[in-house]
Structure 1
Amino acid sequence: MKLLRYGPEGQEKPGLLDDAGAIRDLSGHVADIADDVLTPDGLARLAALDVDSLPVVDGSPRLGACVGNVRKFVAIGLNYADHAAESGMPVPSEPVVFNKWTSCIVGPNDDVVIPKGSTKTDWEVELGIVIGKPARSVSQAEALEHVAGYCVVNDVSEREWQLERGVSWDKGKGFDTFGPIGPWMVTRDEVPDPRNLGMWLEVDGKRYQDGSTKTMIFGVEELVAYCSKLMTLMPGDVITTGTPPGVGMGQDPKVFLKGGEVIRLGIDGLGEQTQKVRKA
Structure 2
Amino acid sequence: MTGEQIRSRGLKSAAAGVGLVAWVVVVAALAEVRTWPALVAAAVTSGLICLCPVAGGVVATRITDAESAARLRHVFVVLEGVGLTLFFPLYLSVFGIEPWGLSTVGVVLALVAPVAVALVLTSRATRAVHLAVVAASGPIVPDSDAGAQAQRIRVLGTVLVAVGIALSVCVVAVVFTTSGYKEVLPVFGLPVTLMPVLLGTRLVRVRDVYSARRYNIGAYFGVLGACSYAVAKFVSLGGAAGMLLAGLAFAAVVLLVIALLVLREFIGELDRQWRERLAR
TM-score under structure 1 length normalisation:
0.28
- Look at both structures and tell me which one has the larger radius of gyration over its CA atoms: 2
Q: Which structure ranks higher in relative contact order (CA pairs < 8 Å, sequence separation ≥ 6)?
A: 1
Task: Please state which structure has a larger fraction of its residues in strand.
Answer: 1
Task: Please state which structure has a larger fraction of its residues in helix.
Answer: 2
TM-score under structure 2 length normalisation:
0.28
